[in-house]
Amino acid sequence: MRANSLQFRQAGATVVELALVLPVFLLFVFGVMELARMLYMINILQEVTRRAANAAAVADFSSAATMEAIRRAAVFDDISGQLPLGVPITAAHVRIDYLSITRDTSGQMSDEPIPTGSLPASPARNNVNCIQSAYGDNCIRLVRSRICDPNNASACDAVQYQPLFPIVTFSFGLSRSTTIVPAERLGLVAGDTP
């Protein structure tokens, strides 16, 4: 009888110890997983912007379907447009801008975004614009890709990080990943007329 009582007490002590240690252990494991995901997000967002900018530099900017396909491919998901393990990043968060290089009166050069309504009608028209004036405000010279909050079209606001395990809630803006590459052919096919 005495041995059974001792075994029962030891089993009870083990359950109490487990109840004390398990939450701390799980919090540590989930914390390490969340930290690894944060590092993943920082690295993958830069890769997403690199892929989008490089693809947009050679694709027809006047085709909405082509631009949407570039955004989806940039987030590694051609079907749903959701970045794997990257909630909340979707293809809608990938913003692609076309930039001109302008020269002011003092000779300083700067890159300026070309408003969507002022973009050339076609890659061939852009080619003509650049031949006429390489520093004109309607000559696409650079392509910029950024990760922006799609709710604000006028500014590039940082996207808020969303933890996978909302055990401990914290909020911070993801890094504003940006890639700028020279515009290449922009979908221009030999023989196209403006």
Q: What is the pLDDT of residues 79-119, one digit of tens each?
A: 888 998 888 999 999 999 999 998 888 888 899 999 988 99
User: What pLDDT was estimated at residue 179?
Assistant: 96
Q: pLDDT by residue (tens digit) across 32-87?
A: 888 899 899 999 999 999 999 999 999 999 999 999 999 999 999 888 889 988 88
**pTM as predicted:** 0.84
Q: Please, what is the average pLDDT of the chain?
A: 88
Stronger pLDDT, 192 or 72, i.e. the higher one: 72
Ordered DSSP codes for the chain:
-HHHHHHHHHHHHHHHHHHHHHHHHHHHHHHHHHHHHHHHHHHHHHHHHHHHHHHHTTS-TT-HHHHHHHHHHHTT-TTT-BPTT-TT-BGGGEEEEEEEEEE-TTS-EEEEEPPGGGS-SSHHHHHHHHHH-TTSTT---EEEEEE--TT-SSS-PPPBP--SSTTS----BPP--EEEEE---TT--TT---
User: What pLDDT was estimated at residue 81?
Assistant: 84
User: What pLDDT was estimated at residue 113?
Assistant: 94
